Amino acid sequence: MPHDALPRDGGPVIEVDRLTKRYGGTTAVRQLSFTVRPGRVTGFLGPNGAGKTTTLRMLLGLVEPTSGAATVDGHTVRRYPRGLRHVGALLDAGDVHGGRTARAHLHALARSNRIPAHRVDEVLAEVGLAGAPAGRRVGGYSLGMKQRLGIATALLGDPPALLFDEPLNGLDPEGVLWVRGLFRRLAGEGRTVFVSSHLMSEMENTADELVVIGRGELIAAESLTEFAARGTRPTVTVRTPDAGTLAAALSAEGAAVAPYDGETLKVTGLSSDRIGEIAFEHGLLLRELATETASLEAAFMELTADSVEYLAGEPR
Amino acid sequence: MTASTTALPLPAARFTDLLAAEWIKLRSLRSVHWALGAGALGIIAFNTNAARADYVNFPHYGRVVRTHFLSWALRDAFTQGAAMMLVLAASSIGAISIVGEYTTGLVRTTFAAVPDRRALMTAKVVVVAAVMTVYGAFTAGASFALTQAVLDGRGQGVSIGHPGALRVVVASALLAPVCALAGLGLGALIRHSATTTVFDVFVLLFLPTFVTDRYHWTACVRNALPFNAWYRLVDVEYGHQPFTLTPRYPTTVTGGWIVFGAWALAAAVVAVVAVDRRDV
């Protein structure tokens, strides 16, 4: 990958250490530990309600952990008197006052952190809100425009570490491409980029590393390649007029067989070569024999299946 | 750029930056302009109209009223109704300066940008207090000038140099920052707009008239409220005016100033401390 040549050890490290947050009887985040390194984009994945936002808020010093620590460059963010030059963040695009113009909003933030005023115009241009849109009140913005303003806010202090919570929400396809390019570039510059999402597909083309959580607990923290490998337990689709006999034969060989319809079986635990041999040994006619490699999405679903907080359909 | 440094140099955190930022935030809200503008017009018009009424009725007033007209003239300079409007406008501005942040979610953006929340809230307190002092000075000063100009038509206008006149203007002007800080402090505690408004109105406008001065302890409560402190401060002929009774538990001008100061200080401390440890 192109960013391999870029510096990886200069930017700050985001460290989450045995982080726990309890609200009354519910535990939003439990004993969560992971490290986010500079120079690459780290995806923060989990189903809705997994504790991503709570974790990011603890990282920013907005929410006090019940126990454990979340640090940026070795310090909790509350230790920095001014934050924008240390860590930039887009938490929720709605975290603005709708009565102010984008320019006034950024101008006040810049001033509070002693960031020169010309930086406001720079970031507005960078996110595509320069000119007339910047002078409009944020209340009239579309979600996509608010996301862009949120990204501008995160970039304002030119920080070495950046956090984005669901930044792709509400963006059009062009906007999604632009944001991905931006994350790549920020990471390429040696910054620490941490991006949350509940959709694996969003991370597929964006992240190098993944932190996956479910129900407030760590599920996986590894590279995207390693993560993808988890999902490559292939499923073989096999179609035969005598599905019952084949299913019995395959089960006898130790495969997991799931009938799909009257003629079709979904088989895991055996290669397509071996399934072909078994069918041949039993003199069974095969009409289809195909291997499906699980996608990242499937790997993610499989991994988080036990930790999905809100499931449509069946009550849990 | 290199990985370990940002393009921008890292300057020291300065409190004046926070003051400037809070000033930008306050003046960039159109609703604030409307609330303050409409409030100022209402207050000045209300007072001027009181002076106009006295101007019209003056020929019909009896001898006693005429000899004690100083009381009337200075009461017209800032009437009770105008003071109520000022309390409402000022406490609302103070409250929305913090409640607006909580209800919109802006507070997270603000606190992420300035993790030193106490410094930020102190800046907010200073800016709100300063703006509302100027606002109070403007409305009280303009009211005084206009009402006395109207009463001059009957030769009854009082000059600002007259004993007690300046006190009326200063007390009325300072009622604005005191109530704005009370609104800010309550807003920081409550963090919800409707509830904050109800509490503001209850504490600053209803309690002062509801609480009786018959018993010592209720009189103490009553006298400790900013609106009643203002009322004492602008009552220039307190105890000498033939038309009013001196209350059983009298108050002093000094007491009035102390109440103003105590409310402002307590509200400021609450605003700074209340937001420091709470999750947003």
For residue B120, which phi and psi values (nearest 5 degrees)? -60, -45
pLDDT interval class at A311 (50, 70, 90): low
Instruction: Please count the other Cβ atoms lying within 10 Å of the Cβ belonging to residue B175.
Output: 28
Q: Would the CB atoms of B3 and A38 count as touching at under 8 Å?
A: yes
Of B13, B20, B109, the CB nearest to A95: B109
Q: Which residues of A236-269 are buried (b: 16+ CB within 10 A; e: fewer)?
A: bbbbbebbeebbebbeeeebebeeeeeeebebeb
Q: Which of residues 93-152 of B touch A (CB under 8 A)?
A: 100-101, 104-116, 119-120
CA distance A234 to chain B (A): 41
Going by pLDDT thresholds of 50, 70 and 90, the confidence category of residue A234 is confident
| pLDDT tens-digit series, residues B136-184 | 999 999 999 999 999 999 999 999 999 999 999 999 999 999 999 999 9
> For residues B144 and B48, what is the distance between their CA atoms, to the nearest angstrom?
9
| Amino acid A10: pLDDT | 65
Region of poorest pLDDT, from B55-69, B81-95, B258-272: B55-69
Radius of gyration of chain A (CA): 24
Q: Shortest Cα distance from A192 to chain B (angstroms)?
A: 9
- For residue B4, pLDDT beyond 60: no
Contacts A190 to B, Cβ<8 Å: 1-4
Q: In this complex, do B104 and A189 lie within 8 Å of one another by their Cβ atoms?
A: no
Helix (H) or strand (E) segment spanning residue A90: strand A87-90
Q: Beta A256-259 vs A264-268: how paired, if at all?
A: antiparallel
One DSSP character per residue, A234-246 reads -EEEEE-TTHHHH
Q: How many CB pairs under 8 A join A and B?
A: 148
Q: A190 at the B interface (CB within 8 A)?
A: yes
Residue range B97-121: mean pLDDT, rounded: 97
Residues of chain B positioned with their CB less than 8 A from the CB of A78: 115
- Rg of chain B over all Cα atoms, to the nearest angstrom: 22
Q: How many whole angstroms separate alpha carbon B146 and alpha carbon B142? A: 6
Q: How many Cα neighbours within 13 Å face the side chain of A55?
A: 36
Residue A160 token pair: 């070495």
Reading phi first (left if > 0) and then psi (alpha if -120 to 50, else beta), residue A74 is in left
Whether residues A115 and B106 touch (CB distance < 8 A) is answered with no
pLDDT tier at B244, thresholds 50, 70, 90 = confident
Residues of chain B contacting residue A126, judged by C-beta atoms under 8 Å apart = none
The predicted pLDDT at position B6 comes to 46
Structure tokens at A98: 């709708």
Helix (H) or strand (E) holding A223: strand A217-223
The DSSP letter of residue B203 is I
Confidence band, pLDDT 50/70/90 cuts, at residue A99: very high
CB neighbours (10 Å) of residue B21?
Answer: 25
The pTM assigned to this predicted structure is 0.86
Contact (CB, 8 A) for B242 and B206: no
- pLDDT value at A305 more than 90: no
Mark A16-50 as b/e (b = at least 16 C-beta within 10 Å): beebbbeeeeebbbbebebebbbbbbbbbbbbebb
- How would you classify the pairing of strands A192-197 and A161-165? parallel
Q: Do the Cβ atoms of A91 and B112 come within 8 Å?
A: yes
Give, in degrees to the nearest 5, the angle at Cα B265 between B262 and B269: 135
pLDDT at A228: 76
Cβ of A83 within 8 Å of Cβ of B114? The answer is yes
Q: A81-95, A209-223, A229-243, B35-49: which has the minimum mean pLDDT?
A: A229-243
CB A100 within 8 A of CB A153: no
Q: Is B16 on the interface with A (CB under 8 A)?
A: no
Q: Which ipTM value was assigned to this complex?
A: 0.92
Amino acid at site A99: G
Domains and CATH numbers, chain A: 2-223 (3.40.50.300), 235-292 (3.30.70)
* Whether A11 and B279 lie within 8 Å, measured CB to CB: no
Position A310 confidence tier, pLDDT thresholds 50, 70, 90: low
Nearest to A92 among B5, B21, B105 (CB): B105
pLDDT in tens, A269-291: 888 889 999 999 999 999 999 88
Give the range among A7-11, A16-20, A238-242, A274-278 with minimum mean pLDDT.
A7-11
- What is the pLDDT at residue B5? 44
The answer to whether the CB atoms of A113 and B14 lie below 8 A apart is no
- Residues B43 and A227: their CA atoms lie apart, in Å, by 68
- Cα distance between residue A201 and residue A58, in whole Å: 26
- Judging contacts by C-beta atoms under 8 Å, the chain B residues touching residue A158 are 6-8
Burial A140-164 (b: 16+ CB within 10 A, else e): ebeebbbbbbbbbbbbbbbbbbbbb
How is residue B206 annotated by DSSP?
A: I
Predicted confidence (pLDDT) at residue A190 exceeds the cutoff of 50 = yes
- Helix axis angle, B30-57 relative to B69-77, nearest 10°? 160
Is the pLDDT at A135 greater than 50, yes or no?
Answer: yes
